[in-house]
Amino acid sequence: MTPKLAGPVVRSWRALPRPARIVLARVALIPPQLFGVLLVTFVLVRLLPGDPALLLLGNMATPEAVASLRQKLGLDQGVAVQFVRYLGRILHGDLGTSIFTSHPVVQDLIERAPATLELITYAMILTIVIGVGLAILAVIGRGGVADHLTRLYGMAAGALPDFWVGLLMIYFLFHIAGWAPAPFGRIDTYLTPPPTITGFYTLDSLLTGNWSDFTSSAGRLVLPVATITIVNAGGVMKMTQTAFAGIYDSPFIRHARACGLPQCRIVAMSLKNSLPPIITTAGFLFGFLLGAAVLVETIFAWGGLGQYAVQAVINSDYPALQGFVMLAAVFVLLVYLVVDVLYELVDPRIRI
Amino acid sequence: MTATLEVERLGVSFGPSGAPRQVLHDVSFRLEHNEILGIVGETGAGKSVLAHALVGLLPGDGRVTDGVVRFEGRALADMSQRERQRLRGGTISLIGTNAKALLDPVARVGTQIARVLRTHRPCPARQAWRQAVELLGQVGIVDPAARARAYPHELSGGMAQRVVIAMALITRPGIILADDATLGLDATVQVQVLDLLVQRSRMLGVSVILITHDLGIVAHYCDRVAIMRAGRIEELRPVQGFLGRPDTPYSESLLAAARARPVPAEQRHAGKADKLLVVENLLKLFQVGGTQPPVRAVDDVSFSLERGETLALVGESGSGKTTIGQCLLRLLAPTGGSVRFDGQEIAGLSEAHFRPLRRRMQMVFQEPYVALNPRWSVLDLVSEPLALLGHHSRSQRLQRVEELLEMVQLSRDLARCYPHELTAGEQKRIGIARALATEPDFVVFDEPTTALDIRVRAQIIDLIRSLQSRMGLSALFITHDLNSVRSLAHNVVVLNRGRIVERGETEAIFASPQQRYTRTLLAAELPIEWSASRRAGAATVANPVSEHSA
Amino acid sequence: MTFRFWLRRPAATLGAALLLLQVIAIVFAGMLAPYSPTMADPLHSLEPPSWQHPLGTDVSGMDVLSRIIFATRINLLVSITAVAAAFLIGVPVGLLIGFYRTIASTLVMRLFDFIQSFPVFVLGMALVSVLGQEIWNVALVLAILFVPVFARLVRAEVLSLRERPFISAARCSGAGDISVMFRHILPNAMTPALVQLSISIGMAILLTAGLSFIGAGVRMPTPEWGLMVSSGAQQLILGVWWVSLFPGIAIVLAVLCFALLGDQLRIFLDPTKRAPGKAR
């Protein structure tokens, strides 16, 4: 990790506290990765057969608009120039204009991001808690009922298509039982959404003390969050189970038991030692849920980034699609950054 | 007065209740106050199961089927879960093998010791930490206040073992159960750790059960010894009497195997001094990356080997002895220096040019199981080097494999087996058969006797001796087991941290070592013959020794 | 393979039975399906399950059962082809970049890191949309997405295997690069990739169906499970449950089948659990 640096630099690097070194070393990797993301999104649109300018503007574009965009993109010049111009536009926050909504893509994305983030944040917290909890139960009660049930669930959860589970939930819990609120968006249509503070309706309504907004938005979250959790907690459980069981059977845990440490201490020790793989799984999951959100948002008319992406695909809205892919990649990049930093923080064995 | 620990007709079984596999039969013994009892047995004798049964932590589906275990007169079976938990670590402390694996990798060692103390004797965290630091000092750790803040991966094996001992002692238990506690440590460190353990236990009046497969340890440290075999105690007697005249033939065979081979290595045929291998100024550096200077694993080493000679490279772990062997066979590329084999310079040779020489230079690898491809049968494994000779038909190959198996005293039926179906001793023999398949002129034996039971070790030494005399092998014998050096090598080179410390004829080195390091190495050996004199020494205070961290 | 052999292994039995069922559906679709999978019949739109239509009809009156049977072809063949292609490319690439540690290996690895840093579904959706929404493009995209999975698994195994003493021992016995790579390393490195093969087919089935569900895969009236679920989604809250429910069950069973087989494969491929030769 440490490049060959001159003596004084090395010394001042060593003098930094370990957490600072971990964060700095990771942040230094961001620019090249970001460059890679931009390159891929650039190439993605270049894969399109036909005139990119025409495709980016859609069929209704006037010849003047096409010509002007051609010049802006530098299509009459080499690929390198086009890429440089592309980078320049992105640095100025210009991701083009959506063909479908006719708004700047950046604006569209910013408007919709909080909806998706709220959904996947809650889903992720619940998934991790349930997945890790079940894994611990299964390992501690090995050979018992919990173990068999979780094994069955782990196998079944991996085979469930999330879009189908979502539909079943709507059918049974909304249509038949009538317990769940309607699958139409984040909040009841007759309510005014709370003013944007964090962008999360649940938090914003609490912050502004708007109780009816809070119950409505929390109610609307139940089915989509449950859908994502049911489908993904199985995978998290299996991963955690493997890691946790390995630790739980390891010599140092047996030794701790021989030292008379109580069971709760032993579970806590095992869990702390299983954190690195759990953190990795959580990071991977956060990125993965962005993909899952595409399907689940469509079913629940969520109005977030996922639904926006689906509309982009259906309408061949390439600027919007390009913007979404870029945002997804940057998002994943940031999540992995946090994961790597946490991973190294919890494991004192990693040298930095 | 009741004994500290009483075990009466203990039986332990594993497996389903319909078809149980009984692992311990009818085990009875008493451990008196302030006594050190040795329990000796080979792999699979049930020593470890016994240790775990005593603390009530049998693994898997293991269960006590018969008998009673009593602590100060109170039966283990009558205790509640909570009482048992308090017993573990409070009344009886277990010290296991490979101390580094016994410590929580993500907690500071001081915290871990304090944690045990606070479980059994609730007290403020600060006070527990202070006691932990104090005890670390007493178990011979230099600068205990700073070391208590270290994580386990920052400690050497010996230091980790001291930390585990501190974890065992902190609650002032009545009994310490050391289950092969020093296995895998260098002999010099092993002696330090055992001296410390025994001396502290005697001082605090703690009874100790030393479980081991090494009769040397028993001879030096124990008051009484129990010999275990196939889940039973065969013999239980005071050590002095046992060493003088064991009761059972099994004990006799163990003792015979543990004694140094009576005959020193055979004299070579007095021919002309024909140098087969000449190593000059061999250098091997390992880059550790980043800004640190490279590690000098082999540092300017020169030696030579005559035809028919067996030379031993002796040293502790990290001395560079295995690296030298790998450089000679080009499993590693040397950084500098010259290696001449039969007059030909091979240090700078490309793999393609070296390949023909592989037929003449072979190696027997250290760990027998991992050196065999797990997906290959014995037949394939032993045939592989035959391809180097070329032009063998299938039936010729089969015949040759059978010859080789016979040479290493294995049944030809083993040819269809896979490595995991073999015992460690059989695996070692397969390794030897592979190395000898091409009838090489020169063989490197890398630690051929480590990690084997005493009797198996003795058998392998006898096998190598017979091969030496039959085939006139020239061999490089890499080991830290001085006992086997005496039986196998004509000359010895002693290494420490990549450099040669001393060299000479085997008998001369053993009789009068010139260098301090060599004397330390020899003093760390625990042959059963020298027990009486050392036993007196064990009672004296062991000095705190500083070690380099890993 | 007696009856008791299968009875003792319920997971293997279920997996094998499901696989057999699917193979039958693929081969004999024309004979098994009571109706044409693509012929609309507006007079019998949205009929609930009955003797005429065991699983009901969808909004354009097409028989759900017939469509599910025919869809097995598309869903399974696309998934298996894509994953098989990814396996055949990924395994040798992983072997090479694990064995030879050159700059090229590092670059290839960085490329894989990069592909995998995108959420699978997002990248799949974008690629299919850009390449054209056609069934074989879906297969192509899935193959691209899965190559890094196999290459990475094999590489990780190779990296640990090449440092193992038995490789040094093979070198001493005269084995060259080719022999070490293909006779010693590859057979030992294959287990995770083979197990993953089965898991990946399951994932590919889910991805194919998901892509079609949002409209980024095949189009109506092609029989495809995800598309069928999607075609019933609109009527679900009107109480029409059969159009979405049954194709979903088909997906679950297909994925479950490969997950079960993968588990069995893992047990079967462990050399220490098979015991030819002498038993101890």
Q: Is residue A11 part of a domain?
A: no
Are residues A185 and A90 located together in one domain of the fold? Answer: no
pLDDT value at residue A50: 64
In a domain, A80, yes or no: yes
- Is residue A60 over pLDDT 50? yes
Which pair of structure tokens corresponds to residue B200?
A: 């502290």
Question: CA A185 to CA A307: how far, in whole Å?
Answer: 11
CATH number of the structural domain spanning residue A213? 1.10.3720.10
**In C, which residues are within 8 Å of B392 by CB distance?**
none
DSSP state of B1: -
In chain C, DSSP finds a helix count (H) and a strand count (E) of: 12, 0
Please state the φ and ψ torsions of residue B233, each to the nearest 5 degrees: -90, 120
CB pairs below 8 Å between A and B: how many? 77
Q: Decide: B93 and B171 in contact? Cβ < 8 Å.
A: yes
Residue C124 in contact with residue C211, Cβ under 8 Å? yes
**Structural domain harbouring C117:** 2-29+65-273
pLDDT tens digits, A137-194: 999 988 888 888 998 898 888 889 988 999 999 888 888 888 888 888 888 888 888 8
Residue A45 maps to a domain: yes
Out of B86, B106, B290, the one facing A2 most closely (by C-beta) is B290
Is A53 inside any structural domain?
yes
SS3 A184: coil
Chain C residue with minimal CA distance to B444?
A: C172
Torsion over CA: A49, A52, A53, A55 (sign): positive
Q: Which residue has the tokens 């159960």?
A: B177
Nearest chain C residue to A160 by CA distance is C252
Its pTM stands at: 0.83
Which of C210, C237, C245 has the CB atom closest to A295's CB atom?
C210
Q: Does this chain's domain B34-54+84-253 share its CATH topology with B272-360+440-528?
A: yes
Across the interface, of B331, B420, B434, the residue whose CB is closest to C168 is: B331
| Range ranked top by mean pLDDT from A277-291, B98-112, B250-264, C255-269 | B98-112
How much is the pLDDT for B545?
A: 40
Q: Would you state the pLDDT for residue B548?
A: 41
pLDDT category at A29 given cuts 50, 70, 90 is confident
Does A2 contact chain B (CB < 8 Å)?
Answer: yes
DSSP-assigned letter for residue C182: I
Tens-place pLDDT, residues B117-147: 999 999 999 999 999 999 999 888 889 999 9
Which pLDDT belongs to residue B282?
A: 92
User: Mean pLDDT throughout B514-539?
Assistant: 69
- Pair B31, B233: CB distance under 8 Å: no
Task: Judge: A261–B116 Cβ closer than 8 Å, yes or no.
Answer: yes
Mean pLDDT comparison of A119-128, B136-145, B317-326, highest-scoring range: A119-128
Q: Is 80 exceeded by the pLDDT of residue B314?
A: yes
Chain segment B54-69, per-residue pLDDT in tens: 988 888 888 899 899 9
Number of domains in chain A: 2
Domain membership of residue C278 (yes or no) is no
| Option in B359, B362, B374 nearest C188 (CB) | B374
Between residues B291 and C179, the one the model is more confident about: C179
Count: domains in chain C: 1
Q: What is the pLDDT of residue B540?
A: 38
Q: What is the ipTM of this complex?
A: 0.85
pLDDT beyond 70 at B261: no
Kindly write down the DSSP assignment for every residue of B386-449, as one continuous string.
HHHH----HHHHHHHHHHHHHHTT--GGGGG--GGGS-HHHHHHHHHHHHHTT--SEEEEESTT
Residue A1 lies in a domain: no
Q: Chain A: residue nearest B93 by CA?
A: A259
Do B52 and B23 touch, CB atoms closer than 8 A?
no
| Chain Cα centroid distance, residue A321 | 17
Range of the domain at A72: 38-94
Q: How far is C39 from chain B (nearest CA, A)?
A: 55
Determine the pLDDT at residue A248: 92
The answer to whether residue C192 sits within a structural domain is: yes
Whether C74 maps to a domain, the answer reads yes
Determine the CATH number of domain B34-54+84-253.
Answer: 3.40.50.300
Q: Work out the minimum CA distance from B112 to partner chain A, whole angstroms.
A: 9
Q: What CATH number labels B272-360+440-528?
A: 3.40.50.300
* Distance between B82 CA and the closest CA of chain A, angstroms: 9
When pLDDT is averaged across residues A199-224 and rounded to a whole number, the result is 88
Residues A170 and A85 in one domain: no
Q: How distant is the Cα of A35 from the closest Cα of chain B, in angstroms? A: 26
DSSP state of B55: T
Q: What are phi and psi of A166, to 5 degrees?
A: -60, -45
A320 in the same domain as A265: yes
Residue A160 and residue A85 in one domain? no
Average pLDDT over residues C159-177: 88
R_g over Cα of chain B = 25
C44 located within any domain: no
User: What tokens does C189 get?
Assistant: 């490195």
Residue C221 sits in a domain whose CATH number is 1.10.3720.10
Summarize pLDDT for B407-459 with one digit per residue, the tens.
888 888 888 889 888 888 889 889 999 998 888 889 999 988 877 888 888 88
Residue C262, pLDDT > 80, answer: yes
**pLDDT-derived band of residue B535, with 50, 70 and 90 as boundaries?**
very low
Total residue count of chain C as it appears in this document: 280
Spatial distance between the Cα atoms of B154 and B160, rounded to a whole number of angstroms: 9
Domain boundaries, chain B: 34-54+84-253, 272-360+440-528, 371-439
